[in-house]
Amino acid sequence: MTFRDRIARTQVATPTVDALTEDERAAYDEIVRSRPGNGIVGPFTLWIRTPDLARAADRMALELGKNGVLEQRLYQLATLVAARHFNVHFVWVNHYPLAVRAGVDAKALDALCRNETPAFDQPDEDACYRLLRALMRGETISAGQFAQVYDLLGERALTELVTIAGFFSMTGMLMKCFDIQEPTGERPLDV
């Protein structure tokens, strides 16, 4: 395959289990065990070609999602702020229901989806949203803005919040580069 062929591709095929190397297969099996029902989807279709990276990404996602101190609603909000910033439909479609189930107001998320400024009912959601949007826009965080979120969350939860947004920003950039789309074809972020 030539360079031109590679850059002309718009989708990356999910590797078949039979096509994986021994190390890729070992990583695949570990990840499938850690994510029952999910398997290798989204960015993992690329990360699996670098097994240690796939394992590290899986561990980070699981650590933040299951063992972190940040509330799930703020975890999911950080995920959706990154998905919206990078227009990653796959992440949005998969995490929107989780965010609503965790308690984030659907109307606020729908505004975020439309690329409007959401009106969050919860002060911590609003503060987290504003901090993450500022960071993603490359803005300087004022001492007052930092103190507001720090006072609401504490050091560890704030660290997790920004790390989650960073993880899903990395995921979003990878998925945009390789044009990994939501398999259902849903494109809710097209506004």
Q: Long-range contacts for 66-72 (Cβ within 8 Å, ≥24 apart)?
A: 68/157, 68/160, 69/154, 69/156, 69/157, 69/160, 70/153, 70/157, 70/160, 70/161, 70/164, 71/102, 71/157, 72/98, 72/102, 72/103
* Residue 189 covered by a domain: no
186 occurs within a structural domain: no
Number of domains the chain contains:
2
Q: Is the pTM of this model over 0.95?
A: no
Is residue 182 a part of any domain in this protein? no
Dist CA 52 CA 8 (whole Å): 28
Co-location of 91 and 151 in the same domain: yes
The CATH number of residue 139's host domain is 1.20.1290
The yes-or-no verdict on residue 65 having pLDDT over 80 is: yes
Q: How confident is the model at residue 24 (pLDDT cuts 50, 70, 90)?
A: very high
Residue range 55-73: mean pLDDT, rounded: 94
86 & 55 share domain: no
For residue 17, give its domain range: 3-66
Residue 185 has φ and ψ, to the nearest 5°, of 85, 0
Q: Mark whether 62 and 13 lie in a shared domain.
A: yes
